[in-house]
Amino acid sequence: MEKIEEHRCFGGLMQRWRHPSTTLGCPMTFSLFLPPARESAPPLLWWLSGLTCNDENFTTKAGAQRMAAELGIALIMPDTSPRGESIANDASYDLGQGAGFYLNASEPPWAIHYRMYDYLRDELPALVNSHFTFSGKQAIAGHSMGGHGALIMALKNPGRFCSVSAFAPIVNPCQVPWGQKAFSAYLGADETTWREWDSCELLANAPDEARLPMLVDQGDADTFLAEQLQPAQLAEAARSRDWPLELRIQHGYDHSYYFIASFIEEHLRFHAGYLFK
């Protein structure tokens, strides 16, 4: 593992690392914020970014480091897909590199490298835990495609995370154009296989031990709201299960990082309430 960047930030350290990934078959980068040292090791919040993003979008635009330093939370920001000249790609922004959808692809040419779920579930946690000391408590959050990723990671791994939150997540990818395009390419034509990567489907069928607090913020001025995001579908799935979901519709906010920056402090405080219990 190679450190490629480091900056002092609010008394902590903002770092960027590169490592060879055996799961994805290519070099990968991730960003890491380590808060100022305290008597005990910090808990860890995973942030998953959206379409066209990499590991740096959140670190440079969200303004999360100040509150993470104050609360004593470490932040880890993985990339959104495998990268490289030998990695399958597509000319469109919503498929291929930068658009991994946090799943394990089963169809050629994607299946060789596009295994972001396994990478995030197994390889990257093992790597960072072998180099850094954390408290063992974790939470997860994300935006848009990354909100989808955060929700499915939490729902598919009961007990791993204390809480989950999302900004403008793609909650029902089986039923919206972004998800249908990606799932058709990555997973094939059999739509029954799509369900294990859809948070509405997962929540509706989740075991009781998968229950955890959820916070979702959605701007009502988001141009993707009606066609691609549809948070009401997740709210209905949660209502039917009496699931602890808080869905907040934020008036006048769009899909951008200005939206995330406006409410990231509230999300970090939400997670801190569970990470330090």
pLDDT single digits (tens) 200-225: 999 999 998 889 999 999 999 999 99
Q: What is the mean pLDDT of residues 124-129?
A: 98
B/e letters for 88-119, b = 16+ CB within 10 Å, e = fewer, are bbeeeebbbbbbbbbbbbeeeebeebbbbbeb
- Is the confidence at residue 231, as pLDDT, over 90? yes
pLDDT at residue 276, rounded to an integer: 96
DSSP type of residue 268? H
Known catalytic residues are 144, 222, 255
Average pLDDT estimate for 79-97: 96
Is residue 177 within 8 A of residue 230, CB to CB? The reply is no
Confidence band, pLDDT 50/70/90 cuts, at residue 185? very high
Residue 12 has pLDDT above 90, yes or no: yes
Instruction: Tell me what pLDDT residue 210 has.
Output: 87
Q: Work out the average pLDDT over 242-259.
A: 97
Tell me what the pLDDT averaged over the chain comes to: 97
| Residue 186: pLDDT band with limits 50, 70, 90 | very high
The model's pTM: 0.97
**Positive or negative: CA dihedral 32, 33, 39, 41:** negative
- Which residues in 31-59 are b (16+ Cβ under 10 Å) and which e? bbbbbeeeeeebbbbbbbbbbebbbebbb
